[in-house]
Amino acid sequence: MKLSQMLAPTLREVPAEAEIISHQLLLRAGLIRRVTPGVYNFYPLMWRVTRKVEQIVREEMDRSGALELRMPILTPAELWEQSGRWQVYGKELMRLQNRHDRWELLGPTHEETVTAIARDEIRSYRQLPMNLYQIQVKFRDEIRPRFGLLRGREFIMKDSYSFHADTESLEETYAVMCRAYTRIFERCGLMTRMVESDVGAIGGSAAHEFMVVVETAGGENDLLFCDACDYAANVERAESSLDVAHLLAKLPPAEHLPLKKVSTPNVKTIAQLSDFLKVAPSQIVKTLVYRIEKLEEGSDASKASFVALLIRGDLELNEIKLANAVGGVLEMRMANETEIQELAGAPAGFVGPMGLKVERVLADESVRNLTNFVIGPNEADMHFIDANWNRDFTPEHWVNVRLAKAEERCARCQEGHLKAAKGIEVGNTFKLGTKYSSKMNATFMAADGNEMPFVMGCYGIGVTRTAQAAVESLHDENGIKWPVAIAPYHLLIVPVNIADAEVSRVANDLYQEALREGVEVALDDRDERAGVKFKDADLIGYPIRITVGKTIKDGLVEMKFRMEGHTEIVAIPEAIAKAQAYVKAAIDGRPVAVAR
Pick from 125, 133, 139, 155 the residue near ligand ATP by CB under 6 A.
Answer: 155
Least distance (Å) from ligand ATP to the CB of residue 92? 8
Site size with ligand ATP, rule: CB under 6 A: 15
Does 140 sit near ligand ATP (CB under 6 A)?
Answer: yes
Question: For 479-524, where are the alpha helices, taking DSSP H only?
Answer: 501-516
What is the rounded CA–CA span in Å between residue 141 and residue 161? 23
| CB-nearer residue toward ligand ATP: 219 or 462 | 462
Q: Give whole-number Cα distances, 529 to 59, 494, 497, in Å.
A: 41, 11, 7
Pick from 274, 324, 428, 429 the residue near ligand ATP by CB under 6 A.
Answer: 428
CA count, 13 A, side-chain hemisphere, 381: 3
Contact range with ligand ATP by CB under 6 A, out of 98-106, 148-156, 404-412, 481-489 = 148-156
| CB-nearer residue toward ligand ATP: 219 or 483 | 219
End-to-end CA distance of the chain: 30
Q: What share of the chain is helix, strand, coil (3-state, %, to 5)?
A: 30, 30, 35
Residues paired with residue 225 on neighbouring β-strands, in sequence order: 232, 419
Least distance (Å) from ligand ATP to the CB of residue 368? 32
Least distance (Å) from ligand ATP to the CB of residue 156? 8
Does 208 sit near ligand ATP (CB under 6 A)?
Answer: no
Report the residue closest to ligand ATP, judged by CB: 462
| CB-nearer residue toward ligand ATP: 366 or 428 | 428
Pick from 30, 460, 479, 483 the residue near ligand ATP by CB under 6 A.
Answer: 460
Does 427 sit near ligand ATP (CB under 6 A)?
Answer: yes
Q: Give whole-number Cα distances, 315 to 26, 227, 354, 573, in Å.
A: 40, 22, 21, 67
Least distance (Å) from ligand ATP to the CB of residue 140? 5
| CB-nearer residue toward ligand ATP: 148 or 541 | 148
| CB-nearer residue toward ligand ATP: 186 or 386 | 186
Kindly identify the residues of this chain, within the stretch 96-115, that bind ligand ATP according to CB under 6 A. 109
What is the rounded CA–CA span in Å between residue 311 and residue 368? 9
Pick from 129, 148, 152, 313 the residue near ligand ATP by CB under 6 A.
Answer: 152
Query: Among 161, 388, 414, which residue's Cα sits nearest to residue 255?
Result: 388
| CB-nearer residue toward ligand ATP: 462 or 549 | 462
Identify the sign of the CA torsion 398, 358, 339, 375. Answer: negative
Pick from 219, 462, 483, 543 the residue near ligand ATP by CB under 6 A.
Answer: 462
Inter-axis angle of helices 44-63 and 167-187, nearest 10: 140
Least distance (Å) from ligand ATP to the CB of residue 18? 15
Does 148 sit near ligand ATP (CB under 6 A)?
Answer: no
What is the rounded CA–CA span in Å between residue 565 and residue 575? 17
Looking at residue 367, what DSSP letter applies? Answer: G
Pick from 85, 151, 286, 562 the residue near ligand ATP by CB under 6 A.
Answer: 151
Does 204 sit near ligand ATP (CB under 6 A)?
Answer: no
What is the rounded CA–CA span in Å between residue 477 and residue 239? 37
Least distance (Å) from ligand ATP to the CB of residue 452? 26
Residues paired with residue 288 on neighbouring β-strands, in sequence order: 309
Does 541 sit near ligand ATP (CB under 6 A)?
Answer: no
Least distance (Å) from ligand ATP to the CB of residue 295? 20
Residues paired with residue 520 on neighbouring β-strands, in sequence order: none
DSSP string of 326-360, one letter each residue? H-SEEEEEE--HHHHHHHHSS-TTS--STT---SE
Least distance (Å) from ligand ATP to the CB of residue 367? 30
Q: Which amino acid is at 489?
A: Y
Contacts of 566 (CB under 8 A, 6+ apart): 560, 594, 595, 596
Pick from 412, 465, 490, 545 the residue near ligand ATP by CB under 6 A.
Answer: 465
Contact range with ligand ATP by CB under 6 A, out of 259-267, 349-357, 458-466, 545-553 = 458-466
Does 142 sit near ligand ATP (CB under 6 A)?
Answer: yes
Contact range with ligand ATP by CB under 6 A, out of 12-20, 149-157, 298-306, 510-518 = 149-157
What is the rounded CA–CA span in Å between residue 55 and residue 53? 5
Q: Which residues bind ligand ATP (CB under 6 A)?
A: 109, 140, 142, 151-152, 155, 157, 425-428, 460, 462, 464-465
